[in-house]
Amino acid sequence: MADPVERQAPAPPVEPAESVVVEPAGTVAGVWWRRFGSATVMIAALLGLLGFTLAVQLKTTSTDSSLAAARQEDLVRILYDLEARESRLRQDVATLEESQRQLRSGEQGRQAALAEASRRADELGILAGTLPARGPGLAVRFEAGSKPISAFRVLDAVQELRGAGAEAMQISGGDRASVRIVASTYFLDGENGSLVVDGRRLTGPFTITVIGDPATMRTGLNIPGGVVASVAQDGGNVIVEDREVAEVSALHKPRTLEHARPVG
Amino acid sequence: MIAVLALLAGVVLGLWLDPTVPAALQPYLPIAVVAALDAVFGGVRAKLDRIFDDKQFVVSFISNVLVAALIVYLGDQLGVGGQLSTGVVVVLGVRIFGNVAAIRRHMFRA
């Protein structure tokens, strides 16, 4: 720092002084220099230098952005300010990222809960008979023999299928009318070998379409003294067919609950 | 006349050559310029007062510049460079104003 100053400060006087001292040796310069006197030349040189530095300084100030011309302590202060600002902004970023993370995890939790809830709703809808279902299963066809198929036999078959893991069932009569079989479904004997299921009259032959494990349900129906055997005893016939895709499309109209309320 | 011409020549030269100021000189150049301006206005005033002296002008010019640069340098070493250069500029500015006021009185009688 000290060196350039020492060099700079004397610079204005030294240059003109040198020119003044040296120039007498020259021929042409010496002539016009003598005409005006040394002081005048000196003044001219000083003013020329002033104009020069003035122009340079003006140019530097106008072209330089503020930083290049700033003093060291100003730069330090600016740097300090910027660092403080940076750390503040960094904190902001961290806070915002944290809240973003929280919101995202909250959203994920909500989505998972929604998916779980809709899965449960589907399951319960199939159980309650309010949603159509499809899947592997059986078609069990009851053909009456000498005696009509009694409601008792059909109920027996339904219970047997439930015991064997049936997940959705429907019963259809000869006129293709179908009734979904749910927990509250009842079977009554009707006239002329017909069957009243949940208040609807079905005529034979009846077909129960059931979704579940076909092998288990077939075994359940065929056990000695079971459904197939009992119907055969009455002279009827039970035809059990495997279905790759059993369609249970009949729907049960849900009852509006008047008294029961969920707990919790 | 020669002085004005020299001043203009210096300005033109500065604009034409467009040199960059070395970093070490940057704090001192503006102060030196202001100090020189003060000396120039003092010279003009002395000329109008008819007490202008060549030698005095040259000496005051050089010493003004040197002292101004020295003060700023000292301020930088003491860690108050910014404030001290402001002070120098204020003092020189007051002097320039005084000189200009005297010049004005001479030229316009007001």
Q: Tell me, yes or no, whether B39 lies in a domain.
A: yes
Q: Is B84 on the interface with A (CB under 8 A)?
A: no
Question: Would you call B19 and A8 a contact, using CB atoms and an 8 Å cutoff?
Answer: no
Asked if the structure places residue B3 within a domain, the reply is: no
Q: Which domain holds residue B87?
A: 24-108
pLDDT at B47 over 80: yes
pLDDT band at B1 (very low <50, low <70, confident <90, very high): low
Q: Would you say residue B28 has pLDDT above 80? A: yes
Higher pLDDT, A222 or A14: A222
A219-A225-A226-A232 Cα dihedral, nearest 10 degrees: 110
Digit-coded pLDDT (tens) for A55-67: 888 777 776 566 6
- Which ipTM score applies to this complex? 0.78
Instruction: Verify whether the Cβ–Cβ distance B10 to A13 is below 8 Å.
Output: no
Mean confidence (pLDDT) of chain A: 81
Identify any residues that bridge with A195 across adjacent strands, giving them in sequence order.
A189, A202
Alpha-carbon gap, residue A159 to A164, rounded angstroms:
9
Which residues in chain B touch residue A47, judged by CB atoms under 8 angstroms apart? 3-4, 6-7, 10, 40
In a domain, B7, yes or no: no
Measured CA to CA in angstroms, residue B59 lies from A54, A67, A127, B55, B62 at distances of 20, 35, 112, 6, 5
Structural domain includes residue B28: yes
- Comparing CB atoms, the residue among B29, B40, B54 nearest residue A39 is B54
At residue A20 the predicted structure's pLDDT band, cuts being 50, 70 and 90, is very low
Q: How many domains does chain B have?
A: 1
Q: How confident is the model at residue A81 (pLDDT cuts 50, 70, 90)?
A: very high
pTM of the model: 0.45
Q: What is the pLDDT of residues A181-212, one digit of tens each?
A: 988 888 888 888 788 888 888 887 889 999 99
> Average pLDDT of B32-36?
88
Give the one of B14, B22, B65 whose C-beta lies nearest to A12's C-beta. B65
Q: Is residue B71 a part of any domain in this protein?
A: yes
More confident residue, A94 or A222: A94
A190 or B90: which leads in pLDDT: B90
Q: Is residue B76 part of a domain?
A: yes
B19 in a structural domain: no
The per-residue pLDDT for A66 is 63
Q: How far apart are CA A66 and CA A64, in angstroms?
A: 6
CA dihedral A214, A218, A220, A223 (to 10 degrees): -160
pLDDT score, position A15: 41
Asked if residue B97 belongs to a domain, the reply is yes
CB B33 to CB A53 under 8 A?
A: yes
Residue A118: exposure state from Cβ atoms within 10 A (0-12, 13-18, ≥19): exposed
